[in-house]
Structure 1
Amino acid sequence: MKNYGLNELREMYLQFFESKGHLRAKSFPLVPQNDNSLLLINAGMAPLKPYFTGQEEPPKRRMATCQKCIRTGDIENVGKTARHGTFFEMLGNFSFGDYFKEEAITYAWEFVTKVLEIPEERLLVTVYEEDEEAAQIWHQQIGLPKEKIFYMGKEDNFWEAGIDGPCGPCSEIYYDRGEEFGCGEPSCTVGCECDRFMEFWNLVFTQFERHEDGTYTPLAQRNIDTGMGLERLAALMQGVSSIFDVDTVKAIRDHVCQLANVTYGADVKKDISIRVITDHIRSVTFMAADGVLPSNEGRGYVMRRLLRRAVRHAKLLGIQGLFLRELVKTVVENSKHEYTELEDKFEYIIKLLTVEEKNFNETIDRGLNLLKGYMKEMKNRGETVLEGKACFTLSDTYGFPIDLTREILEEQGLKADEEGFKVEMDIQRQKAREARGGSKYMGADETIFNQMDAAMKTLFVGYDQLETKGQLAILANDEKLLDVASCGENIYVVIPETPFYAESGGQVGDNGVITTATGKAIVAHTTKVIGGKFAHHAKVIEGSLEKGQMATFTVENTSRMDTSRNHSATHLLQKALREVVGGHIEQAGSNVTKERLRFDFTHFEALNPEQLAQVEALVNEKILEGLTVTIKQMSIDEARQLGATALFGEKYGQTVRVVNMGDYSIELCGGTHIQNTAAIGTFKIISETGVAAGVRRIEAVTGRGAIAYYQEIESNLQEIAQVVKAKKSEVVKKVESLVSEHRALEKENEKLKAEITGAKASSILEQVESIGNLQVLLSRQDNLDMNALRNMGDALKDKLEKGVVILASAVDGKVNLVAMASKSAVEQGIHCGNIISQAVRVVNGGGGGRPNMAQAGGKDASKIAEALEVAKQVIASQITQ
């Protein structure tokens, strides 16, 4: 067979199906959109679910993709075998109610035997045991001998996902690698556990709908969903036995070996580490490019776990220092042609992974110290098994896989409670499943929007017009579709064409009015719903609206303009941040309303005042320059050549909308904008905060919002000027003077307090009594805060040679307690912390401290005398002991 590279094979596949009338689509992001049944995309069909269900109209009835995927179900086996991996690419051709079994099988056979030129004598297939139709196509139309067609059960050849949704039988194509790869058993054939027969392409015929009660009904629209692992196909074509020997993956593997100064294949243990790092660096690089951030939950936890696993195995190989950035370069170099986001986000990916790598290098050392502490305690107690909860803490908090904990423990003759660890892990997995909302096919229950015509889409025409006329196509409430909506009803209005912008890209939806000959409705906001429809969330305030009526749709202009100002300012802000802070800055979210803008961005520390001032000044400079805002439709390749910034997690088509602000800020964006930056007016940053690990947030105002902000400041300044009796221009000097006077008075006040306390202390000493050979002073001194009470306690203790001082004070109904002891008293067994902890219970409080000093607070001042008596009894018992 011809030796094709992985990138060649991808192109050959996509070109072949393009020639068969398929729309060639780019890979969807790894982060699922509108599907909470998945953390990460794990199959080629996963992003296409709405097309299979008929909820949405596909861009074409035939599609072909190469989808990037991540599966972590076998993460513990990655590295241990040569075939397990977490990241892979899946080739797939799909039919949504177009062709079915005959064409799917014919196309597959043609590609395999004519394009790839795989020898027919090496090929075998399986079919579902009840799918005689597929078996006949293979035999009668393709000409495959019956002995090469194997009937398999439901477990092997019937595809279904979740408790509901489309499903159906499948047919798999196998390659016979030869007897030398077999087990030698006479029964060795397709389905054997040995390595001889290699399944590489699965053709799924989705012809049934599975219901939650376990029943099946035929689908009105029969579909085709095929999946072929690109790395597995490349291994087959390149004549290698492992995905780690495939050209693009091998390049990463070889780079790992170079960094570690080891040879692959020379040491079994080192090979495991090499494979782990090779696979995991691919996963985290692609995840970073799609906007996933390391965290302790959800997909962020998956990313953190993979990255930490790679770093740990690098340590086992002896790789010193930060190494991930070097491997990222190799990943990007081998995949950037198809996945342009890797190159576009390169600086950001490097920054993100390096920061996480640095943090883990510190964490892993803390984890090792914690484990050493556990082992010391176990030996002291004579135990030999580390409890499961501790093992899980090491895994969950410090990134120690259970095998690492086991290995370190075994070196000391100890064991890990792996069953207990599994219990803790299962609890966490259950929480994750509950957070995702169940395992239904689309991860969500149906809404009224599922009942609307899937073929209908809404066209947005509001970029250049704020009022249109059209028919009321669909009226609905939360329960049903409506023919008439009466006054007072809250409804959804869906139409084929609208001037109302629907919430997306961080910009809120428009509000406004819908009027007809019989009624009027106020639109509070507008959103996108399934199937490319816009839902106008409205309330009928006059008369009634009827389905099919002609209506006038009017967007509220002032709100739209204020929102557009904030949206355009957000573009300028992102560009300014990249210039001032660094090119790694990427948008991590935004929210643009008429009142203000909120921009989340990837950065790993707070911006200092100087940086914020520079960013704000730069944005205002571009506003004052009056940059012309031009908006054009162009191909995605043209946009990339212009240097247009794209958003994480967005799936862009071949034609994109580019918003260009004087060639300063160039972004892909579907939102509304002003025509010239001067219309923004002014820009003012209100706050900069952290919202998540590696994500910062800036809130700002523009236009009318900025004017209102400055007016509020002006009003506050006027009030302050009146209070301090100064002109506005002299307020700062006046306040500085008052603050200086206040500090001087505070110092004088503290000095007087100390003198009074000293004077009081002398008279209080008359209350000293003896217990054993100790001088003990118990006294109540009301209206002293804790600080004053401690100062008095210090003064009294210093005057006692062998003494214990217990002071109580009632302040506003609450109780302060302080205990102090001299060094000689502590040597005789006095422990102030224990004295206070027992005395404070009497006054309904809590506290404690050290042997020589303790303090506490209580709520019941009526029992202070009783609390002092308890303290006296505890002192006596401590001396006796």
Structure 2
Amino acid sequence: MTSNEIRQSFFDFFESKQHTVVKSASLLPDAPNLLFTNAGMNQFVPIFLGQQKCPYTPGRAADTQKCIRAGGKHNDLDDVGLDTYHHTFFEMLGNWSFGDYFKQEAIDWSFELITKVWGFPAERVYATYFGGDEKSEADLEAKEMWLKLLPPERVVPGNRKDNFWMMGDTGPCGPCSELHVDLTPNGDCGAEMVNADSADCIEIWNLVFIQFNANPDGTFTPLPAQHVDTGMGFERACSIIQCTKNFTDFSGVISNYETDVFTPIFQTLEKMSGKSYTSTLPKDPAKQTEQEAVDVAFRVIADHIRCLSFSIADGIIPSNEGRGYVLRRILRRAVRYGRTLGFTEPFFFKLADTVVEHFGGAFPELVNNRGRVSKTLKAEEESFNRTLDKGMEVFDSILGSTKSKTIDGADVFKLYDTYGFPYDLTELMAREKGMHIDEDGFERLMNEQREKARADHAAKKSVVMASDKTLDVDETPFLGYEMTQLQTEVAEVLDNNTLILKETPFYAESGGQQGDHGEIKGNGFGFKVTDTQKTPEGIIVHKGELVYGAPMKGVPVIAAVDRFRRGQMRRNHTATHLLNAALRQIVDPNIKQAGSLVANTYLRFDFNHFEALNSQQIRQIEQMVNHEIMKNTELQTAEMELADVQNSTDIQAVFDDKYGDVVRVVSIGETSKELCGGTHVQMTGDIGQFRIVSESSVASGIRRIEAVTGLDALNWAAEEHALLSGLSQSLSVKPQELPERIKSMADQIKAAEKQLKELQTKAAVANVDGLVDKVQESSGVKILAAELGEMPMDALRQVLDGLRQKIESAVIVIGSSNEGKACLAASVSEDLVAKGIHAGKLIGQIAKICGGGGGGKPDKAQAGGKDASKIGEAIQAVAGVVDKMAG
């Protein structure tokens, strides 16, 4: 059977047992405490907890669940590639009973499927049951059921770790039975190999019997309804069926990677790399043969492309935080292993099409998001390639100067902090060299950096409070949603620049919205508020300038917010909600907010996306937001329990943020529902007008939109009109003809630049014979090192190719300047490469002189630098570097 046939036969079997086959949940979990969906039961938790009524009749379901275990408690990342069965991404086949059938049916059907339908030899099957401990009795009920199907020697008791499942410290739990398969050639592994973490006897299916509730005092009470939760490793099932030739031959390699789950990816990789996959496993990861290293790379890359493709299709984008950072680490790990296969240019993204073609039938979300997957991967890979080359070069230099088996934490920190080289890749590369990392030293430097960052942040954001004053002040009630002016009294005077009121209409900076300005007037004093902040204890602090008099605790005051500035804030804040909704509708429904700023003069909205928005998308977003403004919809606010919001599918929230148990939800008709504590307009028409003024990148995978509303939007439109009018007059065309005229001028400039480059290249190539005469000899090695003046890199490469044809055995290094920057290219003939002269390392060293870096293969490399004035100095250094390499 093919893998697709195996998956479908699982569905067909349980459909025949009256199960509803349900779609896999997204890898982006509903539960905010999970990085990724990591088990089949995740989507059914509300049913198990009684928060949601079971929607299936009868109460049975079956599915294949996409899972990732690459971060947090469940993390298999470091094992991937080194064995036959660990993955970051995998499918979990499962069948479920929600208060319907229980142990007998679950056990009988599992045995029937694997032995009768799929044909597993029953004599190779072992079953485990919970053997009991001081907390709970043994599950003798399951044991007796298994003894009717298997002999006693293959019904094995297990401990709490392996055979008792708990959702958490408290809540639903119960014993479980596992099915293990003997994969030894003769089928004689014995019960002692069960749960011994051996590839000779592997677990294939876990049947969990949810029958108890774990109480806070450590006791267990029976649940009113009993449930079944099972999970089978799809890839493991495929490996046993396919690698044993339908159970007729157990003498070969039985590996998840030998199945058609992975072989299509391997075939694509073989075509791209020119290398072959031979199924070897490293005996010692630190002493891999060349072929073992190649095979490890094949497995890692194939696993990781599945993980990234499925994740991005589900809307999880690589980033610098949370689950996005886990994906970025996985992608960078794959790109680094690509170097083992000889890839120096982006390659990883090209494998996504193979994943889509092979898995798209079972998972249509891959087909629907094919373009986004490929573009996201390509952008990430291109960005990291530059970092990887430099990081590997610095890593090699560190190894060259390290005599111990431990790499100093300061060097690891330098790689991370200066060159952006991920810690886990440094650790991986060190492990491959049989070395260790000074983790404590690295963490110490990281903590110092974090403390410095916190101190800098505190200095910028600190609320000025008297350190010698003990405050007896309650949390400040904020009344600014209903009013912008009120009579209250001074609760505390910290100093002449900082006041606390008994209650306040001033909004304190939070959720991206800046704090209110205004004035506080009391008997005999006046105070101008220029900033409003909130302490962690909920005390709202008014900072500003004492205009006259002296404020005193307990004095009645009138607190009045700057209503014009507050009005601008309201318009901009409500507009961010409309912008968020428009982005998800027009660009990508999986877009998530990645930060925001609501100021009185403009708004800023950051979001996860892999590429720049085009002009048509920007125009459509503006049109949609302005259409919602013209509908003049009334805003609604409501307080909700956070748990209800987390279970909702239509309320937008940044669940990485911290919220209280009760949250405020702001709704704009059917267009937008978001958690938000900020201030808003009453009707969308109050916004007036909305204009996007810029769209840009702020980090890899993060875009930023800046926009204006109200009068600022009108002024922006007027300035834009004046600019266009002036430009059209200067070019003597109508405003609507400007795009075509500008395009024509740009084409003329490009054509002229192209012609100039062609002339430069022709002149340089024509001078190849003259350069050949400049060959010199040092330490028995012929060297041609020359500076060629003004020339782009592509022309420099052509000259290098011409010289390589003219000179058989030599080191060739040529340099040129291009728009103030240095271009360098190097070549080393094969005979000299054999003597230890490496073009990539050579070019990397001399490029430093020009303030740059680069690298490449042993026989050919290129580099760039910031300072073209240093090219001559770099060229002069070539002979010395070659002498050291040759010596």
Asked if structure 1 preserves the Cα contact closer than 8 Å seen for 2:115 and 2:121, the reply is yes
Moved more, 396-405 or 83-92: 396-405
**Residue of structure 2 equivalent to 1:71:** 69
Contact 1:388–1:416 (CA under 8 A) maintained in structure 2 = no
1:281-325 CA distances to partner (integer Å, 9 max, x unpaired)?
A: 111111111222223332122111111111111101112421112
Aligned to 1:344: 368
- Aligned AA (2:315): G
* C-alpha distance after superposition, 1:51-80 (max 9, x if no partner): 222233232332222110111223222111
1:40 to 4, 21, 36: 36
Q: 1:128 to 1:256 in 2, by over 3 A?
A: same
- Match of residue 230 from structure 2: 226
Tell me what 2:219 maps to: 215
- Please tell me whether residue 257 in structure 1 is matched to residue 270 in structure 2: yes
- Give the Cα separation in 2 of the matches to 1:713 and 1:296: 34
Instruction: Report the counterpart of residue 158 of structure 1 in structure 2.
Output: 164
Q: Aligned AA for 2:63? A: T
Deviations 1:347-369 (A, max 9, x none): 11111111111111111122134
In structure 1, distance between residues paired with 2:26 and 2:654:
5
- Give the C-alpha shift of residue 201 in structure 1: 1.0
User: Normalising by structure 2, what TM-score?
Assistant: 0.51
2:357 counterpart SS class: helix
Whole-Å separation in 2 of the counterparts to 1:225 and 1:115:
21
Q: What amino acid is aligned across from residue 163 of structure 1 in structure 2?
A: D
Q: For 1:492-507, list aligned pairs within 5 A.
A: none
Compared with structure 1, are the counterparts of its residues 63 and 425 closer, same or farther at alpha carbon in structure 2 (3 Å cutoff)? farther
Query: Residue 154 of structure 2 aligns to which amino acid in structure 1?
Result: K
Residue identity matched to 1:124: Y
Distance across 2 between alignment mates of 1:695 and 1:107? 48
Q: Which residue of 2 aligns with 1:50?
A: 46
User: Per the alignment, in what secondary structure is the counterpart of residue 200 of structure 1?
Assistant: strand
1:198 pairs with 2:202: yes
CA contact (8 A) 1:565 1:679 kept: no
Structure 2 residue 692 is matched with structure 1 residue 685: yes
Q: Judge conservation of contact 2:689–2:713 (CA < 8 Å) in 1.
A: no
> 2:578 touches 2:625 (CA, 8 Å); kept in 1?
no
Counterpart in 1 of 2:382? 358
1:245-394 matched pairs, under 5 angstroms = 245-265=258-278, 267-372=291-396, 374=398, 378=401, 385-391=406-412, 394=415
Q: 1:426–1:176: structure 2 CA closer, same or farther, 3 Å change rule?
A: farther
Deviation for aligned residue 1:139: 3.1
For residues 835-865 of structure 1, the C-alpha deviation after alignment (integer angstroms, 9 at most, x for no partner) is xxxxxxxxxxxxxxxxxxxxxxxxxxxxxxx
Tell me the SS of whatever aligns to 2:27: coil
- Partner in structure 2 of residue 16 of structure 1: 13
Letter paired with 1:261: G
Secondary structure of 2:55's aligned partner = coil
Q: What amino acid maps onto 1:685 in structure 2?
A: I
Whichever residue aligns with residue 264 of structure 1, its letter is Y
Q: Tell me, yes or no, if the aligned pair for 1:585 and 1:602 is still in contact at 8 Å.
A: no
1:237 aligned residue = 241
Question: Normalising to structure 1: TM-score of the pair?
Answer: 0.52
* CA distance, structure 2, for counterparts of residue 405 and residue 307 of structure 1: 16
Answer yes or no: is the 8 Å Cα contact 2:293–2:340 preserved in 1.
no
Distance in 2 between residues matched to 1:251 and 1:566, nearest whole Å: 45
Identify the residue that residue 83 of structure 2 maps to in structure 1. Answer: 81
**SS of 2:227 mapped into structure 1:** strand
2:89–2:307 contact (8 Å) kept in structure 1:
yes
Structure 2 counterpart of 1:23, one-letter code: T
Do 2:67 and 2:92's aligned partners in 1 also have CA atoms closer than 8 Å?
Answer: yes
Q: Is the 8 A contact 2:165 2:174 kept in 1?
A: yes
Deviation at 1:729, TM superposition (A): 9.4
Aligned to 2:421: 398
Shift of residue 174, structure 1, vs aligned partner: 2.5
Aligned-pair Cα RMSD in Å: 4.9
**For residues 534-586 of structure 1, what are the alpha-carbon distances to aligned partners after superposition, in whole Å with 9 as ceiling and x for unaligned?**
xxxxxxxxxxxxxxxxxxxxxxxxxxxx999998987766676x6xxxxx896
Where 1:406 maps in the other structure, the secondary structure is helix
| 2:129 paired with 1:133 | no
Tell me the CA shift for residue 606 of structure 1: 5.9
Structure of higher CA gyration radius: 1
Query: How far did residue 597 of structure 1 move?
Result: 10
Count of aligned pairs between the two proteins = 527
Question: Residue 105 of structure 2 is aligned with which of 103, 106, 109?
Answer: 103
Q: Whole-Å Cα distance in 1 between the matches of residues 268 and 100 of structure 2?
A: 45
Checking the alignment, whether the CA contact within 8 Å between 2:410 and 2:442 is kept in structure 1 is: no
Match of 1:127, SS state, is strand
Distance 1:80 1:177, change over 3 A: closer
SS at match of 2:40: coil
Residues 417 and 403 of structure 1: CA distance in aligned 2, closer, same or farther (over 3 Å): closer
Contact 2:297 2:338 in 1 (8 A): yes
- CA distance in 1 between counterparts of 2:618 and 2:188 reads 69
CA distance in 2, matches of 1:599, 1:340: 31
Alignment of 1:413-424 (within 5 A): 415-418=435-438, 420=440
Q: In structure 2, give the amino acid aligned to 1:105.
A: I
**Which one has more relative contact order, counting CA pairs under 8 Å at least 6 apart?**
1
CA deviation digits over 1:717-740, x for unaligned, max 9? 9xxxxxxxxxx999x99xxxxxxx
CA-CA distance at 1:91 after TM superposition = 0.7
1:269–1:34 CA distance, 2 compared to 1 (3 A): closer
Q: Quote how far apart the aligned CAs of 1:196 are.
A: 3.7
Q: Distance in 2 between matches of 1:175 and 1:181?
A: 9
Quickly say closer, same or farther: Cα 1:210–1:679, change in 2 above 3 A: same
Q: Do the aligned residues in 1 keep the contact of 2:170 with 2:214 (CA within 8 Å)?
A: yes
Q: Distance in 2 between matches of 1:93 and 1:293?
A: 30
Distance 1:613 1:174, change over 3 A: closer
Q: Percent identity?
A: 37
Equivalent positions of 1:644-683 (< 5 A) are: none
Q: Paired residue for 1:754?
A: none
- Distance in 2 (alpha carbons) for counterparts of 1:711 and 1:188: 78
Q: 1:113 to 1:597 in 2, by over 3 A?
A: farther
Task: Tell me by how many angstroms 1:161 deviates.
Answer: 4.3
* Partner-residue secondary structure (3-state), 2:64: strand
Deviations 1:665-691 (Å, cap 9, x if unpaired)?
xxx99989xxxx999997633654656
Contact persistence 2:130–2:177 (CA under 8 A): yes
- 2-side partners of 1:300 and 1:617: how far apart? 28
Deviation of 1:223 after TM superposition, in Å, equals 1.5
Does the CA-based 8 Å contact 1:566-1:680 persist in structure 2? no
Once the two structures are superposed, the pairs formed by residues 601-750 of structure 1 within 5 Å of their partners are 602-604=608-610, 614-615=619-620, 684-685=691-692, 688=695, 690=697, 693-698=700-705
Match of 2:27 in 1: 30
Q: 1:616 to 1:232 in 2, by over 3 A?
A: closer
Distance 1:144 1:570, change over 3 A: same
Specify every segment of 5 or more residues in structure 1 that has no aligned partner in the other structure, as ranges. 432-561, 579-583, 627-646, 651-667, 718-727, 734-881
Q: Structure 2: how far apart are the matches of 1:700 and 1:332?
A: 37
Counterpart code for 2:53: E
Deviation at 1:589, TM superposition (A): 4.5
Greater Cα shift, 255-264 or 243-252: 255-264
C-alpha separation in 2, matches of 1:566 and 1:40? 28
Q: Which amino acid aligns with 2:122?
A: E
